[in-house]
Amino acid sequence: MSERFPFSIPNGWFQIAYSDELEPGGVLPLHYFGQDLVLFRAEGGEVALLDAFCPHLGAHLGHGGVVDGDRIRCPFHAWEFDTRGACRNVPYARKVPPKAKVAPWNCAERNQIIWAWHHVEGVAPTWEIPDVPEVSSDDWTALERHRWTVRTHNQEIGENAVDRAHFRYVHGTTNVPESELELDGHIRRAIQHVHMSTPHGEVKGRIKVEAHGMGCTITRFTGICETVLLLSHTPIDGGSVDSRFSFTQRKADQKTGVAAGVIKEVVRQMNQDIPIWEHKKYLPKPMLCDGDGPIPEYRKWASQFYH
Ligand code: FES
Ligand SMILES: [Fe+2]
């Protein structure tokens, strides 16, 4: 828990890399969830995420570790660990210490993204990341990526989506969007009818938002230009988040400037939210009024990710 927020790091699936950032045999040192981690891809293609530090004398496996087959070899004394973190070989010892193990993490690869499952009590995944068919379709563009490091907590970023009034006063949308909220276990759905300003004038559209926990939101824009946006927000620690937006658009809609305008507008709105989030205080008992969105409902839904 950080000093700024009365929450721990949420449980769930979170993006830790894009698939193409890790070739077979590749190794990446990562720092997420307040922990040092190593991500590697076995030569056969499987991805593995482990705690970073070798149990022998503490080297960081992500700095100089080498993949050999389905194992990562420590840069310090060449102990070898498999994709589940078990030590399989100590090249200068007759016997591998039976308890030599690095803690493994559950990870998955879907929609050209590598995901890690974080749970404070080590509970195994209780849901799966959904498949987004547009990402692998030839009729849709390659993912356009945007990324920010934001000094906030996932709780606050999620709340932004249900905070109806801010759309008008922070983002300058011409109406306060109507939205229908549906809470369904770990999934939060909302449909918003918005008026967006683009370089080609104002357009009316529909935004369908589907949040799978606190780390993965799939947003579909229709009526403006068919766009799918994968929003991922990964806790770096209790007070900062690595946010990635990945857009794909129907290639048939690319001819006009509207498609690029939609992306530009979403990115502009993110840049407007950031200074508010970075400087605001989290109020457990906010003073709400009747024009506000379903903030209490959102907070109740979000509370399931903290135990
Ligand atoms: S610290 Fe890793 S093998 Fe010695
Ligand atoms: Fe916003």
State the CB neighbour count (10 A cutoff) for residue 176. Answer: 15
Q: Are residues 109 and 255 in the same domain?
A: no
Of the listed ligands, the closest to the CA of 79 is 1
Confidence of residue 202 (pLDDT cuts 50, 70, 90): confident
Give the CATH number for residue 81. Answer: 2.102.10.10
User: 189 and 59: one domain?
Assistant: no
Which residue's CA lies nearest to atom 4 of ligand 1? 77
Q: What is the pLDDT of residue 206?
A: 86
In this structure, are 145 and 256 located in the same domain? Answer: yes
Cα 125 to ligand 2 centroid, rounded to whole Å? 29
- Supply the pLDDT for residue 68: 98
Share of the chain above pLDDT 90, in %: 81
The answer on pLDDT for 188 being more than 80 is: yes
Q: The whole model's pTM is what?
A: 0.95
Ligand 1 pocket, residues with Cβ under 6 angstroms: 54, 56-59, 74, 76-77, 79
Residues 164 and 203 in one domain: yes
Nearest CA-CA partner of 113 in 145, 68, 141: 145
- CA 222 to chain CA centroid, Å, is 23
> 31 alpha carbon to ligand 1 midpoint, in Å?
20
For ligand 2, the distance from its centroid to the CA atom of residue 96, given in whole angstroms, is: 53
Banded model confidence at residue 99, pLDDT cuts 50, 70, 90: very high
Domain annotation covers residue 1: no
Residue nearest (by alpha carbon) to ligand 1 atom 1: 57
Provide the β-strand partners of residue 30: 37
Model confidence at 239: pLDDT above 80: yes
Ligand nearest to the Cα of 60, by number: 1
Q: How far is CA 113 from the centre of its chain?
A: 9
Based on the fold, state whether residues 26 and 90 are members of the same structural domain: yes
The whole-number average pLDDT for the span 256-283 is 93
Task: Kindly tell me if the per-residue pLDDT of 194 is higher than 90.
Answer: no
Q: What atom in ligand 1 is closest to the CA of residue 59?
A: 1
- What is the model's pLDDT at position 230? 98
Q: Spell out which residues have Cβ within 5 A of ligand 2, the ion.
A: 160, 273
164 and 298 assigned to the same domain: yes
User: What domain range includes position 267?
Assistant: 139-306
With a pLDDT cut of 70, the percent of the chain lying above it is 97
Give the pLDDT score at 198.
Answer: 67
Tally Cβ neighbours within 10 Å of residue 290.
4
Query: Are 74 and 223 in a shared domain?
Result: no
Mutational test site, ligand 1, from 36, 73, 74, max ligand atoms within 8 Å of CB: 74
Q: Supply the mean pLDDT for the chain.
A: 94
Say if residue 8's pLDDT is above 80: yes
Domain count, the chain: 2
What digits encode the pLDDT tens for the residues 107-155?
A: 999 999 999 999 999 999 999 999 999 999 999 999 999 999 999 999 9
Report yes or no on 193 lying in a domain. yes
Band of residue 305 on the pLDDT scale cut at 50, 70, 90? very high
The domain that contains 143 carries what CATH number? 3.90.380.10
pLDDT per position as a tens digit, 59-73: 999 999 999 999 999
pLDDT at res. 199: 67
Q: Are residues 190 and 113 in the same domain?
A: no
pLDDT digits (tens, 9 = 90+) for 168-182: 899 987 776 677 899
Least confident of 20-24, 44-48, 222-226: 222-226
Ligand 1 centroid – CA 42 distance (Å) = 20
Are residue 102 and residue 173 in the same domain, yes or no?
Answer: no
Identify whether residues 155 and 275 lie together within a single domain: yes
Q: Find the 75 Cα to ligand 1 centroid distance in Å.
A: 7
Q: In this structure, is residue 3 part of a structural domain?
A: no
Whether 4 is in a domain gets the answer no
Is 130 a domain residue? no
| 134, part of any domain | no
| Domain shared by 162 and 67, yes or no | no
Q: pLDDT value at position 224?
A: 72
Residue 225 or 67, more confident: 67
Counting atoms of ligand 1 from 1, which one is nearest the CA of 90?
Answer: 3
Rounded to the nearest angstrom, the distance between the alpha carbon of 44 and the centre of ligand 1 is: 24
Q: Which atom of ligand 1 is least distant from the CA of 61?
A: 2
